[in-house]
Amino acid sequence: MRRVEANIGELDRVEPPLYTQIFDGLAITIVRVQEELQCTENELPFETVRQPTNGLNAGEEQMVQRGVAGLARVCERCIIENGALTGCLPASRTVLQEPREEVIFFGPRSIDVPITVEGQLAYISGGQAWMIEGNAINRRLLTFTGGLDGRVFDLSQDGRQLLFTRQTSATDDPNFANELWAILDTTPADPEAVQLGLNNVLYGGWKPGTAFTVSYSTAEPSTSLLNGWEAYNDAWTMRIDSRTGETLDFVDIVEPNSLPLYAYWGTRYAWSPDGEKLAWSRADSVGLVDLESGDFDTLISFPHFEPAIISGWVWQPEVIWSADSSLLITTRHGPPAGGESPTNSIVFDVSIMLQSVI
């Protein structure tokens, strides 16, 4: 019998397995496996932001800031078997330089056909906040420096206050980084916006039933996660001075935590119109916050939506209260319609929870 020795690496694959009983004529194959980290630097395209301004005539444009492309290092862990590349998996993504957006001002086209609007309508266009009152012709600009990111945009119940987030002015800040601002009185022709001293706000809005009180949840900017942030899943309220926006006091409703499935994406919150109940939603459940203990009470559970995860985002249901705060309405990921797995179900059902449940 001829003895043959072979060095087997930690990643090498032996067929049949090493525990197989040896016999005459047995063919043993050793697949040499190597793992290499391969990195490339890719250009990050800049975004072009077009902002309407009343300082230009319709059709006129003005370049305010030229865009600059960013740079990211993308690394993959590649498997090489017997000298041949068999596949690569994403390993890391590091932003070396954030892109700088290109900003172009343009003169908005006038509205020819008057459209009646009941009450007040606030909206974002070109990174600016606008308001329409009574008629679409009565459109006016509420902000003048732009940069609204749309993450928080909430008009108070009486239409007198507007809460919003805008991107930070520092060009080297992460894409998610933002600042919380408020307009304390929307009625003047040139309303003044004040910065509230909070950064990196993920969700936010005015707390119903309590004047000049803001509710919000925060996150930390992250270059290692594709979404750009890692949520704290916290919930706070903050009362502000009605004249200056100065912070008067904070209330910690839910402490920072990593409890939810796909916690990095964040927990979505919704106050009831009477301000007495706080609903929450996650990738796999909906419930209420115990306002005394800060605990999460689950009302319904369902499988997460796997196609969203594969595409790099997390599906979460909206939670909406009825006007009298007696009903909680949401969408839940339903059971499979055919042979697909529960997490790949294409069914989404509407669920209504009654006062007796909530």
> Under DSSP, is residue 17 helix (H, G, I), strand (E, B) or coil?
coil
pLDDT score recorded for residue 55? 64
CA–CA separation, 104 and 108 (whole Å): 12
Helices (H), the chain: 306-310
pLDDT score recorded for residue 41? 94
The tally of CA atoms less than 13 A away on the side-chain side of residue 322 is: 12
- What superfamily would CATH give domain 13-97? Resuscitation-promoting factor rpfb. (2.20.230.10)
Report strand pairing: 48-52 vs 102-106.
Answer: parallel
pLDDT score recorded for residue 31? 86
CATH 2.130.10.120 in the chain: give the residue spans: 111-257
Residue 231 backbone phi and psi in degrees, to 5: -75, 150
> Under DSSP, is residue 4 helix (H, G, I), strand (E, B) or coil?
coil
pLDDT score recorded for residue 1? 52
Sign of CA dihedral 170, 171, 173, 176: positive
Query: Longest Cα pair distance anywhere in the chain, in angstroms?
Result: 98
CATH 2.20.230.10 in the chain: give the residue spans: 13-97
Strand ranges across the sheet with 70-81: 33-44, 70-81, 84-97
Tell me which residue of 73, 3, 21 sits closest to 44, measured CA to CA.
73
Amino acid sitting at position 300? I
pLDDT score recorded for residue 51? 79
Strand partners, 81: 33, 84
Long-range contacts of 82-88 (CB under 8 A, 24+ apart): 82/31, 82/32, 83/32, 88/38
pLDDT score recorded for residue 15? 84
- Please tell me whether the overall predicted TM-score, pTM, comes out greater than 0.75 for this model: no
CA distances (Å), origin 184, targets 35, 89, 199, 271: 58, 50, 19, 21
Q: What is the CATH number of domain 111-257?
A: 2.130.10.120
pLDDT in tens, the chain (358 residues): 556 566 787 888 888 887 777 777 788 888 888 899 999 999 999 999 887 776 677 778 888 889 999 999 999 999 998 988 888 888 888 999 989 989 888 887 766 667 888 889 999 987 889 999 888 777 888 998 888 999 999 999 999 999 999 998 777 777 899 999 999 999 998 899 999 999 999 999 999 999 999 999 999 999 888 889 999 999 999 999 999 999 999 999 999 999 889 999 999 999 999 999 999 999 999 999 999 999 999 999 999 999 999 998 999 999 999 999 999 999 999 999 988 999 999 999 999 998 666 6
CA–CA separation, 333 and 353 (whole Å): 16
> Under DSSP, is residue 204 helix (H, G, I), strand (E, B) or coil?
strand
Collect all residues with Cβ–Cβ distance below 8 Å to 10 and sequence separation of at least 6.
none
Q: Which residue has the tokens 């003005």?
A: 62
> Under DSSP, is residue 308 helix (H, G, I), strand (E, B) or coil?
helix
